[in-house]
A = this chain, B = another copy of it.
Amino acid sequence: MSRPIIHADILLRLVRSGSVSRAEKLLDRMHPADVATLFGQLRPAESQLLIDLLFSSRRAGKTLSELPSELIPQFLDQVDDERLAQIVLRVPPDDGIMFLEALEPDRRARLLASIEVGRRKELERLLLYPPGTAGSVMTPRFLALAKTATAQQAIDAIRTLGEQVEAIFYLYVVDEDGKLEGVVPIRRLVAAPPERRLERLMLADPVAVLASSPQEEGAQLVAKYNLLALPVVDPGRILLGVMTVDDVIDVLQEEATQDMYRLAGLADEDRVFSPIHTSVLKRLPWMSINLGTAFAAAGVVTMFEGTIAQKVILAAFMPVVAGMGGNMGTQTLTVITRGIALGEFEFDRAFRVILKNLMVGVCMGAAAGIMTALVAWFWQSDPLLGLVLFLSMVGNMAIAGLVGSTVPVLLKKLNQDPALGGSILTTTFTDVCGFLIFLSMARLVFHLN
Contacts and interface: CB of A to CB of B under 8 A. Distances in A.
Interface of A: 1, 5, 31, 33-34, 37, 40, 155, 158-159, 162, 167-169, 186-187, 189-191, 207, 209-210, 213, 217, 221-226, 228, 245-246, 248-250, 252-253, 256-257, 259-261, 263-266, 270-273, 276, 279-280, 283-284, 287-288, 290-291, 294-295, 297-299, 301-302, 305, 308-309, 312-320, 322-324, 327, 330-331, 334-339, 342, 344-346, 349, 353, 356, 359-360, 363-364, 367-368, 371-372, 375, 427, 431, 435
Nearest to A162: B191
B344 A295 contact: no
Given A276-B360, A280-B367, A291 B324 contact: yes
A172 to B, nearest CB: 15
Nearest to A248: B249
B371 A288 contact: yes
Contact of A302 (B207, B253, B279, B316): B316
A418 to B, nearest CB: 12
Contacts of A367: 280, 284, 287
Listed residue (A189, A223, A272) with the most chain B CB atoms within 10 angstroms of its CB:
A272
A310 to B, nearest CB: 9
B318 A1 contact: no
A439 B44 CA distance: 44
Given A271-B344, A327-B287, A260 B257 contact: no
A287 B1 contact: no
Nearest to A31: B225
Given A260-B259, A324-B291, A280 B360 contact: yes
A260 to B, nearest CB: 5
Nearest to A225: B33
Contacts of A260: 256, 259-260, 263, 334, 337-338
A278 to B, nearest CB: 10
A371 to B, nearest CB: 6
B315 A308 contact: yes
A266 B364 CA distance: 13
A314 to B, nearest CB: 8
B270 A324 contact: no
Contact of A327 (B265, B344, B356, B360): B265
Listed residue (A228, A291, A318) with the most chain B CB atoms within 10 angstroms of its CB:
A291
A233 B334 CA distance: 37
Contacts of A368: 287, 291
Contacts of A34: 224
A337 B280 CA distance: 19
A287 B359 CA distance: 16
Contacts of A224: 33-34
A386 to B, nearest CB: 13
A431 B276 contact: no
B266 A331 contact: yes
Contacts of A323: 290, 294, 297, 427, 431
B209 A223 contact: no
